[in-house]
Amino acid sequence: MNTKHIFLYSALAVAGLTMTSCSMDTESMTSQNDETAYRNAEALDMALVGCYDGWQRTISSEEIGMYMLAEFASDQAHGGLGFSDAKNNNVLDQFDISVAPSYNNLFNTDWINYYAAIFRCNKVIQAEETADWGGDLSARGRIIGQARALRAILYFDLARMFGDVPLVTVPTEENLPRTAASEVYKQIFEDLKYAAANIPADAFPLSGRGDTDGRITKYAAEALLARAYLYYTGYYGQENEGCTKQEAIDALNDVIDNGGYELEANYADLFMPACTTDGSNGGAYAWNTTFKGKYYDGSGWVSDISKEVILNLKFAATADYNGNADGNVFQVYLGPRNKCATSVNIASGWGACSVTQKFVDTYKEDPRFSACVWSCADAGFTADVNDSYEYTGYYTRKYAPMCFSDGTRQEVGFQLGEQHMNITYYQDWTVMRYADVLLMHSELTGTNTGLNMVHQRSCPGESLSYSIENIRKERAIEFAFEGIHFWDLMRYEKDGAYAGRAIAEAQDGAKVINGGVETTTSFKVENFTAKKGLMQIPNTQITLSGGVLTQNAGW
């Protein structure tokens, strides 16, 4: 039994390529194959698009997905969803398989997607020494640098979710066991360092970000290097030879000194649902918005990307059920369950990630709160509590699905794509913001300059002294519901012990409404610590590997 079972579909992984055969020594002029797809910079640029598509598919055709997982698992949100729904996602909320014992394969699609994307990256990276670059070292660094940065992102996701994972750096069908996380992170650091050193600083200038948004720059690679350093040293409680603390600081210094990024003046403008109102007049739908991103205004696409954004994961409104998976499928989860009124621009959805009362009580006076959370009571309506699970009266706002004040969903009003409430969402996911660079810099250098730049954007005149606790509090509200906070909790203490305590404080005994009945939630710290906060290796992959793959403890 070989790796093609573990890395399913890897033989078809390179997007846009058709595997062909010829009986003569001739070259296909209408399709690409392994002989033509990686032969020069032009061909490799096309193959690189397939690498980005592979990364996109870890969310757009996910089973759970990295960002949805981070919200289900954190202390800031309950699992939520429907009262009669299967409780597979609530397994992650409680870290307790007994909630839904039959779900022993939660991440199988995710596993397949990640390794298919890694395969694509490996094919491009492998061509560095064999392609005809025509002496263009800039193109070589730009293309291979992006492919290596994408591979680093994919492995960073996998390592945070599962810990030890098979490390595959060349296209192969060899059946590989899990690799120690220290070696996986060493490769992550090497890939990001290569990207930072070889992607030209002017490859994707901020002045042209409307056209190149989503491309990985040298500065994105440097910011991700610092994020990976902080996670590894925090969660594992040790240094990794692949990256020193000073290297992480130097990387952030380069972003700050030379990247040209700046904080967006108005925090809410970073998130479309937080700064947009219905602008329809006489039946013609339109938005009134100050959003600094990509959106549809009724007549066409607007792309006004904030200079705070360092890296976006791109999505489109053209997803369908015929294999075109390019939409942000996470958004439908975040709408209230069967919304009972049309007075606000948040559309109904599946009722996931109801906000914990602990988060509300801690941050309700912060000016950023209303951009992060919206209250059903303040909006003048409730969701269908009889069909809601873990209903608290609060939902997340930053990536919520949107509609007009008459209840028409934006995809229907604008006739976008399939106009389907499950898949027709296009809001890009911001992976790295300049605010994160500033806060990481303060954390690593023991200074409060970056901390106060971020804090004073939303709280003018308030100065915070440097302390780890102040940085942690600032990060918790600044990056709430952006798929970051859970991973922060995990790195604050070795083996995720801090995360277990924080989640228990917010969710053990919290009051919620299940099917119209008030009750309390339960979270047992021992379920979390037994697993060290790591996810379940898909049972299908363990079986198909013939036992080469092993399960994480506690699952």
Q: Are 455 and 242 in contact (CB under 8 A)?
A: no
Question: Would you state the torsion angle of the CA atoms of residues 131, 133, 139, 141, taken in this order, to the nearest 10 degrees?
Answer: 60
Longest dimension (CA), the chain: 75
User: What does the domain layout of the chain look like in residue ranges?
Assistant: 267-281+292-309+318-429
Alpha-carbon span 356 to 487, nearest angstrom: 18
What proportions of the chain, in percent to the nearest 5, are helix, strand and coil?
45, 10, 45
pTM for this entry: 0.94
Residue-wise pLDDT for 454-501, tens only, equals 999 999 999 999 999 999 999 999 999 999 999 999 999 999 999 999
DSSP state of 270: G
Distances (CA, A) of 510 to 124, 353, 375, 473: 49, 14, 17, 21
Strand-strand pairing, 373-375 and 394-396: antiparallel
Alpha-carbon span 112 to 89, nearest angstrom: 19
Reduced to 3 states (helix: H, G, I; strand: E, B; else coil), residue 82 is: strand
- Which of 119, 112, 117, 107 has the alpha carbon at shortest distance from 173? 119
Residue 165 is predicted with a pLDDT of 98
Residue 16 is predicted with a pLDDT of 35
- Which of 56, 494, 435, 70 has the alpha carbon at shortest distance from 227? 435
Residue 342 is predicted with a pLDDT of 62
Residue 414 is predicted with a pLDDT of 94
**Stretches in the chain below the pLDDT threshold 50:** 1-30
Alpha-carbon span 49 to 540, nearest angstrom: 29
Q: Are 531 and 552 in contact (CB under 8 A)?
A: yes
Helix axes 41-60, 66-73, angle to 10 degrees: 30
Element containing residue 375 per DSSP (H, E) = strand 373-375
Three state DSSP letters for 507-539? HCCCEEEECCEEEECCCCHHHHHHHCCCCCCCH
Residue-wise pLDDT for 24-77, tens only, equals 232 333 456 666 779 999 999 999 999 999 999 999 987 889 999 999 999 999
User: Which residues share a beta bridge with 525?
Assistant: none
